[in-house]
Amino acid sequence: MTIDKVFAGSIPRIYETHLVPLIFEPYASDLKERVGSMNVSRILEVAAGTGVVTRALAAASNERGSIVATDLNQAMLDQAASAGTARPVQWLQADAMALPFPDNEFDAVVCQFGVMFFPDKCKAFSETRRVLKPGGVFIFNIWDRISENEFADTVTAALAAVFPTDPPRFLVRTPHGYHDRPTVERDLAMGGFTRSPQIVTVTARSRAQSPRVPALAYCQGTPLRSEIEAREPSLLGEATDTATAFVARRFGTHDVDGKIQAHVITIKK
């Protein structure tokens, strides 16, 4: 497992307490509404993380239906399970490129900001298509380019100041590295989907009570932490402090508010 995909140690807790309310909750609500408008009763979520979408789906979905939530990182699922859901959910560690389910099993597959982490996206899309029932729907979202996501962009600039000769580029490379629509359409087609996807861009606001929140969220609640520590473990605190200062300089020293933007993709089998 490469450094970009490791969510372990204290990362899951900080991810849940800081990053989820900062950037993930608005898009979890968006996916919940989109899935809720569909006639689905058996849902698979891949790359569920700490369960922000899972909780939303469990609160809104057909109570007679079922939800299976998977992630590659058991530590993230443990954090998700500890938060609880409105109704029972099956939590299962699984690789999106080798899903442990039979063909034609689910009405919908949902993935929030996970496909960017898949090393072979075409294979993952092929697996998704395989486990979908005929007419089933795959709905997922991906972050737009980093320049359209202001806190992530600012933190990246801050880390370039701390590590000028070898700046950590995790945020650019992975979460914000898969935003090109023609590439997504090509990969879906190579994964076996024959219909054209619907792709919509959704802009929201990311808000926090202080510039420290986004700095801590990104520097210590994502694999960016591992990338910083790989360069110099003792500089994690300094990197977080510098990111805080950069966010404060751009957005203010108290309540901060930045733009976030993502694409939501829907395609049927």
Give mean pLDDT, residues 177-204. Answer: 98
Q: How far apart are CA 243 and CA 160, in angstroms?
A: 10
Question: For 138-158, how does the pLDDT look when each residue is reduced to its tens digit (9 = 90+)?
Answer: 999 999 999 999 999 999 999
Per the listing, tokens 């600012």 go with 154
Q: How many domains does the chain have?
A: 1
Question: C-alpha angle with apex 13: 12 to 17, nearest 5 degrees?
Answer: 120
Give mean pLDDT, residues 13-31. Answer: 93
Question: Is the whole model's pTM more than 0.85, yes or no?
Answer: yes
How much is the pLDDT for 214?
A: 98
CATH number assigned to the domain comprising residue 78: 3.40.50.150
Per the listing, tokens 């996206």 go with 121
Q: How far apart are CA 248 and CA 3, in angstroms?
A: 29
How much is the pLDDT for 65?
A: 83
Question: For 62-88, how does the pLDDT look when each residue is reduced to its tens digit (9 = 90+)?
Answer: 667 899 999 999 998 999 999 999 999
Range of the domain at 255: 3-268
Considering only 8-12, 86-90, 208-212, 215-219, which range has the smallest mean pLDDT?
8-12
